[in-house]
Amino acid sequence: EVQLQESGPGLVKPSQSLSLTCSVTGYSITSNYWGWIRKFPGNKMEWMGYISYSGSTSYNPSLKSRISITRDTSKNQFFLQLNSVTTEDTATYYCARSILWDYWGQGTLVTVSS
C-alpha cells in the first residue's frame, strides 16, 4: 500500500524558509509524479508543484520564484522548500502522488508567525 507522511516544523518565522519532507513507503518515487498541495484556512486548495520520476519539476507560477521541490531517491523522500514566507503561507501542507492525486499524506499544519 502506498503511504505518504509529511514532516517538518509547525512554526516558521516570517521571511524565513519553510522546509518539509515527504516520506513515501510502498512505492518508489522513481516512478510516477509526486507533489505538494496546500489548503489555506477556509477551504481554498492550491497546487504548489511536483517532481517527476526523472527529477524534473513543475511549479505553480504564483510561487515560482520561492519554491523548490527536490528528492532523495535513496531514502524514497521528496522535499518542499518555500522561501521568504509570510503569514499568508500559513496552511496545511499535503504531499501526494500526482497526477491523479490518488494517495495523500495526512497533512501538516505550518503556521507562519513571529
Partner 1 sequence: DVVMTQTPVSLSVSLGGQVSISCRSSQSLVHNNGNTYLSWYLQKPGQSPQLLIYKVSNRFSGISDRFSGSGSGTDFTLKISRVEPDDLGVYYCGQGTQYPLTFGSGTKLEIK
- Tell me which residues touch partner 1 (CB under 8 A): 43-47, 58, 60-62, 94, 99-102, 104-107
* 27 vs 104 by CB, closer to partner 1: 104
Q: Closest distance between partner 1 and the C-beta of residue 63, in Å? A: 9
**Nearest to residue 40, comparing CAs of 104, 112, 114?**
112
* Dist CA 110 CA 78 (whole Å): 17
Q: Give how far Cα 65 sits from Cα of 30, 87, 112, Å.
A: 25, 17, 19
Nearer to partner 1 among residue 79 and residue 104 (C-beta): 104
CB 86 → partner 1: shortest distance, Å?
20
Taking the least distance from each CB to partner 1, the nearer of 53 and 101 is 101
> Alpha carbon of 12 to those of 29, 40, 66, 90, 111: distances in Å?
27, 16, 15, 9, 6
CB of 60 to partner 1, least distance (A): 4
Number of helices (H), then strands (E), in the chain: 0, 11
Residue 94 Cβ vs partner 1, minimum distance, rounded to whole Å: 6
Nearer to partner 1, 88 or 100 (CB): 100
